[in-house]
Structure 1
Amino acid sequence: MKVVVTGGAGFIGANLCRELARRGAEVLVLDDLSTGRRANLDGLDVELRVQSVLDRDAVVYACAGADTVVHLAAVPSVTRSLMNPRHSHDVNVTGSLEVLEAACAAGAHVVLASSSSVYGRNPALPKSEEMACVPVSPYASGKLAAESYALSFQHCFDLPCTVFRFFNVFGPLQLPDHPYAAVIPTFIWSALRGQPLTVFGDGEQTRDFTFVDSVVGVLADSVLRSVSCTRPVNLAFGTRTSLNDVVALLSALLGRKLEVARRPQRAGDVRHSQASGTSLRRLFPQARPVSLEMALSRTIEWVERLVRTENEAARSSV
């Protein structure tokens, strides 16, 4: 089976490539390395093409002969979309359209990554796929547009696809040391370097944090079984944890009380997020979450290696 993974050198993509290769798939990665890293694919028997999803010829060439295309390539940040809405739209919407057209021409099955951010201002919990989406950022609007394109291609052109709405995925390979980093790796990075953990708002905002291994297990199963669905599917397990609770868990795991620096709430942030897992359980009854405590422990181990590498590099430069 040939599987194309756009954004495959990124955090979720590289973890997925490792799982697909382990299961015997032939994997081709299309990634412009704007956020992904070659090093994430070290040791994997995959082909990497450093090209953009906005390059139509490159996308068509990559998708030729593919059985499945997993579309993960994106500008993955609400904050980035606020800084540059046009670029976010170009990659997340136009790039998705390029991938869908190429996959359709190749007769491939598509797995497309969307986001829980599409629910936006809708206050109802848990977030069910049937509820109205009220996006509050350009990033969320772009993700909603991309998933709408995918489902319309399924309806109009018989393109088999599954659209997954990711909920705050975290784990190894997720870089913590840049301005747009996700909250959990950023917390751990700061804690291990003896710095305060920055919390925007009161810290009582909640998220359905999902460990990357759980996510890639479902994605790989979707690829290998060619699962398709006529509506989006939440890829999370219905948990709800506040940022303050995450700080407390990290304090317990690291054996010391962590200092917190409070900052004003950011524009575009959603107050509460929690998935309804009904569709996921129906389509993937074997899927099981990794406990938050175990997932945090494994992420701490990975970030500790990054900190050690940084410290060794600093010592060698003296």
Structure 2
Amino acid sequence: MDIELSGKKILVTGGAGFIGANLCEVLLNKKNTVICLDNFSTGKRENISSFLDDTNFKLIEGDIRNLEDCMLAASGVDYILHQAALGSVPRSIKDPITTNDVNVSGFLNMLVAARDNNVKRFVYAASSSTYGDSKSLPKEEDVIGKPLSPYAVTKYVNELYADVFSKTYGLETIGLRYFNVFGRKQDPNGAYAAVIPKFVGQLMNGESPVINGDGSYSRDFTYIDNVIQANLLSLVVDNNKAINTVYNIAFGDRNTLNDLVGCLKEYLSEFDETIANIEIKYGENRMGDIPHSHASIQKAKDLLKYNPQFSLQKGLKESIKWYWKNL
């Protein structure tokens, strides 16, 4: 990834999480000073264990719901990559209050900390869930529907707050609407595991994955390296038209869940041929799920010079190598 970015002090909130830890690694490799703020509610210590002896890495164990923690972490930093959040539509349906506390109140705390510490730019993880019940495909940034879950509400509110802070306080913000991110360091375990690592873990254990619905729902699955590229580009872009807005971050394609499982069985069977014969099961559709998700990435291409290199298939092959070695 040949994006010039070095010698900066960068705060990654949720830096021990799946996306955050990958960002920390790349930033450190580019010779930046990295501050990681995480409360380990969903982040994993093993994700950052290899960085702890790096003199350019600092871990702050704290919570974005605590303004003092946010202020401490943001002190003296050039940029913030805000990845901390409680993900998962089902979790938000089960516990909307905690989801709101973390994703809205915590987000507001981080904006205040960025403003008060004169941070140059605040780049944050937005979400494709913001499109809600909009049926238009591909999804374009200016055409959204009504949210279908508490999680989606919180991520849309993030965009509104970021816009207000840009206009009111002059804080540079960029929101990245992630579409179904997957890749190395993504946890396959737990009640709210994302579908790809969950299915990989089950197939490796000889278990039958259960697809919600008939498998015809489709997603624009996005490999982690595409997301890292978008974050780095968001930090270095100097075009005023590219700042204080939101972007779809995806590959710009869509695959059904049946397609996904077919690829997983094919690629995993190269390591264990018995996986090819595992039966796939089907269950009820999941509350709050949208049927189809497919991103237009033209805006990110035009303004950020975003150029994703990993399709679902290419990303799955890389992910499976990592899972086979690490699970």
Matches of residues 206-221 of structure 1 in structure 2 within 5 Å?
Answer: 206-221=218-233
2:72 equivalent to 1:65: no
Q: Which runs of 5+ in 2 are unaligned?
A: 1-7, 270-275
2:92 corresponding residue in structure 1: 81
2:164 corresponding residue in structure 1: 152
Once residues 236 and 264 of structure 1 are traced to their aligned partners in structure 2, the CA distance between those partners, rounded to angstroms, is 27
1:142 corresponding residue in structure 2: 154
Matches of residues 35-46 of structure 1 in structure 2 within 5 Å?
Answer: 35-44=42-51, 45=54, 46=57
2:303 corresponding residue in structure 1: 283
Q: CA deviation at 1:42?
A: 2.1
Matches of residues 1-318 of structure 1 in structure 2 within 5 Å?
Answer: 1-44=8-51, 45=54, 46-108=57-119, 109-225=121-237, 229-255=243-269, 256-285=276-305, 287-307=307-327
Identity of aligned residues (%): 38
Q: CA deviation at 1:65?
A: 1.0
Once residues 101 and 82 of structure 1 are traced to their aligned partners in structure 2, the CA distance between those partners, rounded to angstroms, is 28
Matched position secondary structure for 1:57: helix
CA contact (8 A) 1:3 1:27 kept: yes
CA contact (8 A) 1:5 1:72 kept: yes
Once residues 222 and 23 of structure 1 are traced to their aligned partners in structure 2, the CA distance between those partners, rounded to angstroms, is 16
Measured against aligned partners, the alpha-carbon deviations of 1:18-51 in whole angstroms (never above 9, x if no partner) come to 1111112110000000000111112223111110
Letter of the 1:219 counterpart? N
Measured against aligned partners, the alpha-carbon deviations of 1:136-194 in whole angstroms (never above 9, x if no partner) come to 00000000001110111001111001011000000000000111000111111111100
Letter of the 1:3 counterpart? I
TM-score, scaled relative to structure 2: 0.91
Once residues 133 and 311 of structure 2 are traced to their aligned partners in structure 1, the CA distance between those partners, rounded to angstroms, is 28
Letter of the 1:162 counterpart? I
Letter of the 1:79 counterpart? P
Q: CA RMSD in A?
A: 1.3
Once residues 178 and 17 of structure 2 are traced to their aligned partners in structure 1, the CA distance between those partners, rounded to angstroms, is 15
CA contact (8 A) 1:112 1:147 kept: no
Once residues 23 and 42 of structure 1 are traced to their aligned partners in structure 2, the CA distance between those partners, rounded to angstroms, is 18
TM-score, scaled relative to structure 1: 0.93
Q: CA deviation at 1:254?
A: 2.6
Once residues 165 and 286 of structure 1 are traced to their aligned partners in structure 2, the CA distance between those partners, rounded to angstroms, is 13
CA contact (8 A) 2:166 2:244 kept: yes
Q: CA deviation at 1:294?
A: 2.0
Q: CA deviation at 1:240?
A: 0.5
Q: Which runs of 5+ in 1 are unaligned?
A: 308-318
Once residues 93 and 321 of structure 2 are traced to their aligned partners in structure 1, the CA distance between those partners, rounded to angstroms, is 32
Letter of the 2:255 counterpart? T
Q: CA deviation at 1:286?
A: 5.0
1:315 corresponding residue in structure 2: none
Q: CA deviation at 1:252?
A: 1.8
Matched position secondary structure for 1:203: coil
2:4 corresponding residue in structure 1: none
Q: CA deviation at 1:266?
A: 0.9
Aligned length: 307
Q: CA deviation at 1:132?
A: 2.6
